Structure 1
Amino acid sequence: MSLEGQTLLPGESSGSSGITTDDEESGGCGATACCNPRSTCHRFIAGLLMCFLGFGSYFCYDNPAALQDNFMKDLNITTTEFMFFYSIYSWPNVILCFVGGFLIDSVFGVRNGSNIYMLIVMIGQIIFASAGFYDMYWLMILGRLIFGIGAESLAVAQNNYAVVWFRGKELNMVFGIQLSFARIGSTVNFWIMEPIYTYVNQFYFGPECIGVVLFIAGLTCVFSLICSLILGCMDKRAARILHRDENNTEVVRLTDIVDFKPSFWIITIIVVAYYVAIFPFIALGKGFFMSKFNLTAHEANNVNSIVYSISAIASPVLGLLIDKTGRNIIWVILSILFTIAAHAILTFTDLYPYIGMVMMGLAYSLCASGLWPLVALVIPEYQLGTAYGICQSIENLGLAVVSIITGIIVDAGGYYWVEMFFMGALTLALFSTILVWIIDSRAYGVMNMTPYERDIHDCNRQAAEILEREKLLSSSRSQIGPNDLLQPTNSEFHIRNRYLSRIGASLPSHYNVNQKYLAYRALR
């Protein structure tokens, strides 16, 4: 048999080259850093593709916001009807985003899930553009709904990719870079959609102009779909070389969510309370800046894009800062305080809006880089798709409700009262973060540790698990009787359950201390 056809065990050498996999060769691409999944260069390429994976969906998400006045004029709709483009995006994902995350964990896998969800995003944008061209408001709503189903589940897959490739290796920075590229998509949208509309308006008018512009925007979704396909091939190869799939013996069940820690659920409240003060504000921002500061449509779009522009630059830097310093909860608290201050400046002062928006952009970048990695600190890796799906689902529930509420508030009372609403939501986020800090500090305080302290904590935990496993193995061997020889050997699963039971940890309802294999049961 040739060398390429042999299957080597993890860590087994493949000759003098020191290469340890069945897929890599001593020469050619397999021996270069670009093609070796263990190398920083290869992971960087994968990370870049992860970033472009969400570029198209973020670019198209804010197409309506960049053309708010044009949408309302050409389609003859009210502010409430305009905000329904954002509300309908979020409503189905109250349920489907969680389902999408669960399907990634248990059915599709992250590779197939990414491709499927990106395809759904592209189909939704095509329907949205076609309906705009023919001035069919109800069909635009349907297209936006389909777009949202794919986009939010795609974000879950993107988070899963990041954790699989970078957990323990600059994860905060990678989340920051992903956010950066997503916001580059949103920023470019605000920069170019108005000029594109102006150019297209020379040849098409009214709804037809809106439709053509949205078709042009949809080309970014095609680009992201190509990146998804390439990344899927890379991840499949890396999983085979690094033997990732051989270590994934856990089975995800819907009933596992009842065992998620209280701190996780409070984190979801923080996510909702913070993001409802960012995204609905940006959706209404063009009208707000034109109304209060008497800016032109182009100037208002430039100011409105500052949050995304700042985050595109600052997110990787702030993510790296959090990677080096840790203390995630402290950074999240500071970001919320700065966001409250930014809204207060925009509401109660006549200072040029760039000041408040720059503050908001920096605070938003800091919060996103510090907040989302907290989920990976409290949830096991094999459940992360489900966990991130729940976060996205609850976030979408908040955004769906708040998008409607803010549209009604603006139509009834103006922008002052909607800003008061946003500051109230941020206050809730602040108190929730403090509550998470208190709960975490009463346990091990992992979420607010420095990287060095987390390393020590992980080493101590692993050492305790190994010691307990050895004790259980010794006691099991000493108690072997004639009848035991007919029983299956104690598995790692059985040993772990006995260990968890001995230390007083709560086991999921479908676990049994004396069970020697994984129990499969139908979903309900």
Structure 2
Amino acid sequence: MSREERLPIVDTASSSGEDEAKPVVRRRSTRDTELALPKEQGCCAPTSKPHRFLALLFMCLLGFGSYFCYDNPGALQDVFQKELDLNATEFTLIYSIYSWPNIVLCFVGGFLVDRVFGIRLGTIIYMLIVLLGQLIFAAGGLFGHFWLMIVGRFVFGIGAESLAVAQNSYAVLWFKGKELNMVFGLQLSVARFGSTVNFWVMQPLYNYVSGFYAGYTGLGVTLFLAGLTCVMSLLCTLILGWMDKRAERILKRNTNPGGDIAKLSDIMSFRLDFWMVSVVCVAYYVAIFPFVALGQAFFVSTFHLTPEQANTVNSIVYLISAIASPLFGFIIDRVGRNVSWVFVATVATIVAHLLLTFTQMNPYIGMSIMGLSYSMLAASLWPMVSLIVPEYQLGTAYGFCQSVQNLGLAVVTIVAGVIVDSSGGSHFWLQLFFILFLMISLLATCVIWTYDRKHQGNLNMSPAQRATYHTSMYVNIESS
């Protein structure tokens, strides 16, 4: 592979201001064969906007089922603890067991997409594992076997996180240099809409089912019905695979013209800014997902809400992110400055946790701030990986980020349950625990900014500056 082919993917969109006056020379390579596609093929051409955004629709929906089912326990926390006789620590095991296998397997899953399965087959395999895991989980509820439910969540986790890696790789493959931040925002939007719908419908659905099936049997039937969303996502995965195969044939796509092969050892060559992005992935998200997982009990005990009201408040983070994520992605596509957006998002999340912990202010305010900041971070953080590592290593890089994130979630979720149990059900110390991790995320963001500035990187540039930066790098390589 030539040295210029090793450059990370950059967004070459233009922006307003002085940057527009700078000439931008777009590098042409085998990777860009889609640019030569005849325009007369119209909306059926893989490079046309309608076709790409149709692919994006299926790209987003393939993650809907896994996110809907992921938070099934959070929406029915009181039911799980009552029907299965669980304390807070045992309940959090349902979430932590999801993360444990992905400490290693998610990294391996990304590598398998790069090296073995390919993106299409890999996505289908991971979606089938998600569906199998949800069915085992539901069967455990149906028969009242908690150990079987844990096995189901273990299997579910193996597929779901690797599926997210494949989904990210699909996004970069179809939208590299074109609306990538917005695409990541839209993917998060649909995924989190799945979580929001889960919090809306699972309690009413269980109430309806329990009229026919008593006790844990009703819980199991409810979880089986929730698994239908995974069947829908599997259909979307198959359709997207067909569309991608067609696009590859028409475009004669070659994402690795130099023939470099992804290796697990590649991770050792990644720069400090990538490692700090990984730290943010851990430190930020452990203050969101475990908080939501235990959120129903928090809002019931702290703000004296009913379980249904607590679920509504708890879903605000995901509801707002479903709306705001693509909007923030659209804005970031235009203005760039990804590191600055990550910094602002982390500070805003700290403010949200402080409001929920130290004031009796309406919890909708704190959760709304958290939802907006969460959307802002997701739309700005994940695309940075594609600005740091070469395309042939993207699956490995995203897999590693997901792996370390799951390590954090697995450990922190268990610790969170222990903190609540040892505090007699109080969430005060748990909130301070979350705020500490957000401070770590803020520090890592500052390191990213400092490193990028010192090495004259492109992570905090505008899109036009990135295009000029990439062109200058290419010219320097050609002249060397």
Q: Same fold (TM over 0.5)?
A: yes
Aligned 8 A contact 2:317 2:372 in 1? yes
Matches within 5 A, 1:157-172: 157-172=166-181
SS in 1 for 2:404: helix
- C-alpha displacement at 1:467, in angstroms? 2.9
- Distance in 1 (CA, whole Å) between partners of 2:198 and 2:30 is 46
- Distance in 2 (CA, whole Å) between partners of 1:467 and 1:251 is 27
**1:256 alignment counterpart:** 266
| C-alpha distance after superposition, 1:299-337 (max 9, x if no partner) | 000000000000000000001111111110111000000
Q: Which amino acid aligns with 1:304?
A: N
Aligned 8 A contact 2:255 2:391 in 1? no
- Distance in 2 (CA, whole Å) between partners of 1:133 and 1:254 is 41
Q: Does 1:457 align with 2:469?
A: yes
- Distance in 2 (CA, whole Å) between partners of 1:253 and 1:244 is 22
> Residue 133 of structure 2 is aligned with which of 116, 121, 124?
124
> Residue 443 of structure 1 is aligned with which of 446, 451, 455?
455
**1:83 alignment counterpart:** 92
- Distance in 2 (CA, whole Å) between partners of 1:112 and 1:465 is 36
**2:412 alignment counterpart:** 402
Q: Which amino acid aligns with 2:100?
A: W
- Distance in 2 (CA, whole Å) between partners of 1:369 and 1:300 is 27
**2:432 alignment counterpart:** 420
Aligned 8 A contact 1:89 1:147 in 2? yes
> Residue 430 of structure 1 is aligned with which of 442, 465, 469?
442
Aligned 8 A contact 1:308 1:361 in 2? yes
- C-alpha displacement at 1:444, in angstroms? 1.7
Q: Which amino acid aligns with 1:253?
A: K
Matches within 5 A, 1:33-112: 33=43, 35-112=44-121
- Distance in 2 (CA, whole Å) between partners of 1:63 and 1:134 is 17
- C-alpha displacement at 1:253, in angstroms? 1.2
- Distance in 2 (CA, whole Å) between partners of 1:361 and 1:257 is 32
Q: Which amino acid aligns with 2:350?
A: I
Summarize the Cα distance change of 1:391–1:19 in structure 2 as closer, same or farther, 3 Å threshold: closer
**1:370 alignment counterpart:** 380
Aligned 8 A contact 2:277 2:448 in 1? yes
Q: Which amino acid aligns with 1:378?
A: I
**1:313 alignment counterpart:** 323
Q: Which amino acid aligns with 2:304?
A: N
Summarize the Cα distance change of 1:77–1:437 in structure 2 as closer, same or farther, 3 Å threshold: same
- Distance in 2 (CA, whole Å) between partners of 1:246 and 1:32 is 24
TM-score, structure 2 as length reference: 0.91
> Residue 380 of structure 1 is aligned with which of 373, 379, 390?
390
- C-alpha displacement at 1:459, in angstroms? 1.0
- C-alpha displacement at 1:445, in angstroms? 2.7
Summarize the Cα distance change of 1:298–1:106 in structure 2 as closer, same or farther, 3 Å threshold: same
**1:355 alignment counterpart:** 365
SS in 2 for 1:169: coil
- Distance in 2 (CA, whole Å) between partners of 1:243 and 1:86 is 42
- C-alpha displacement at 1:19, in angstroms? 8.5
Aligned 8 A contact 1:180 1:315 in 2? yes
Q: Which amino acid aligns with 2:102?
A: N
Matches within 5 A, 1:154-303: 154-245=163-254, 247-248=256-257, 249-303=259-313
Q: CA RMSD in A?
A: 1.7
- Distance in 2 (CA, whole Å) between partners of 1:460 and 1:55 is 41
**1:147 alignment counterpart:** 156
- Distance in 1 (CA, whole Å) between partners of 2:220 and 2:383 is 38
- Distance in 2 (CA, whole Å) between partners of 1:244 and 1:443 is 33
- Distance in 1 (CA, whole Å) between partners of 2:251 and 2:374 is 35
Summarize the Cα distance change of 1:20–1:408 in structure 2 as closer, same or farther, 3 Å threshold: closer
Aligned length: 447
Aligned 8 A contact 1:10 1:20 in 2? no
| C-alpha distance after superposition, 1:178-218 (max 9, x if no partner) | 00000000000000000000000100111101100000000
- Distance in 2 (CA, whole Å) between partners of 1:246 and 1:61 is 33
SS in 2 for 1:228: helix
Aligned 8 A contact 1:49 1:231 in 2? yes
| C-alpha distance after superposition, 1:121-164 (max 9, x if no partner) | 00000000011100111110000000000000000000000001
- C-alpha displacement at 1:462, in angstroms? 1.6
SS in 1 for 2:86: coil
- C-alpha displacement at 1:466, in angstroms? 2.7
- Distance in 2 (CA, whole Å) between partners of 1:129 and 1:247 is 42
- Distance in 2 (CA, whole Å) between partners of 1:277 and 1:325 is 27
SS in 2 for 1:241: helix
Could you say which structure has the greater relative contact order, defined with CA pairs below 8 angstroms and 6 or more residues apart?
2
TM-score, structure 1 as length reference: 0.84
- Distance in 1 (CA, whole Å) between partners of 2:238 and 2:255 is 23
Q: Which runs of 4+ in 1 moved over 6 A?
A: none
- Distance in 2 (CA, whole Å) between partners of 1:433 and 1:189 is 32
**1:475 alignment counterpart:** none
SS in 2 for 1:350: coil
- Distance in 2 (CA, whole Å) between partners of 1:340 and 1:253 is 38
> Which protein shows a greater Rg?
1
- Distance in 2 (CA, whole Å) between partners of 1:442 and 1:299 is 49
Q: Which amino acid aligns with 1:56?
A: G
- Distance in 1 (CA, whole Å) between partners of 2:264 and 2:462 is 33
- Distance in 2 (CA, whole Å) between partners of 1:10 and 1:314 is 36
**1:510 alignment counterpart:** none
Q: Which amino acid aligns with 1:41?
A: P
Aligned 8 A contact 1:10 1:242 in 2? no
SS in 2 for 1:38: coil
Aligned 8 A contact 2:256 2:392 in 1? no
State the identity as a percent.
Answer: 57
Aligned 8 A contact 1:328 1:371 in 2? yes
| C-alpha distance after superposition, 1:236-291 (max 9, x if no partner) | 11112112137442211112111111111111001100000000000000000011
